[in-house]
Amino acid sequence: MREEATRGTAGRNEHIRSFVRRQGRVSNAQRRYYDEMMAKVGVPYRAAAIDFDRLFGRRAPRVLEIGFGMGETSALIAGRHPENDYLGVEVHTPGVGSLCKLIAENELQNLRIVQHDALEVLREMIAPGSLAGVHIFFPDPWPKKRHHKRRLLQPPFVALLASRLQVGGYVHCATDWEEYAQQMLAVLSAEPQLENAAADFAPRPPDRPSTRFEQRGQRLGHGVRDLIFLRRSAARGTPDSDA
């Protein structure tokens, strides 16, 4: 993910986005599948809660993935778990086109895409207590200290995220940037709606496929850290707006 300071939607406070809208190269295949598939699997942004039962035509556990990149992990997880429904959020067209291609090639029926800012999707389109899980894998670490405010995992965002989880629902984060991992651990641990499923960092779950970011980090000698937090049964405060 990339991020820049911009205004939010009308009537909302400004927020610092977790991405920069950039014009990445879109391959012919990505464009073709984007044009063909988004009418089938795309969910247009609007300020109203998604009716998941209607969207997927069934009732099942729902998992949100924020910033799916090129979509390889998203497609693998959805294929391995047909019992769950998945909603991926990404802003960059090459990645959206890539995931559209994977959905078509693997005939995935349980994966949909929103191409929009994740905070606004979470705030406006996801009802409180509606998610079984959230995946945030290898968000941009924004390593320079002056850019730390641009990181996605900040206290207001985590509070909003937690409010969208059902009791017992999980948030699973992973990063190969040690200092960001420590910040994630501190921010998630401080959120009263959540509790750590491990003593500190979690063992790498076998269900999380290895990503290109993870492989690159390992080549550079970076350790990968997973964090898994659960929604408490009795939380102190459940904010639902203005991260």
Listed in sequence order, the DSSP H helices in 164-199 are 178-190
Let me know: does 85 contact 65? Beta carbons within 8 Å.
Answer: no
Amino acid letter, residue 75: A
Rounded Cα gap, residues 115 and 135, in angstroms: 16
Residue listed under structure tokens 């598939």 = 37
Amino acid identity, position 23: Q
Alpha-carbon distance 29 to 193, whole Å? 43
Catalytic residues: 140
Alpha helices in 107-166 (DSSP H): 118-125, 155-163
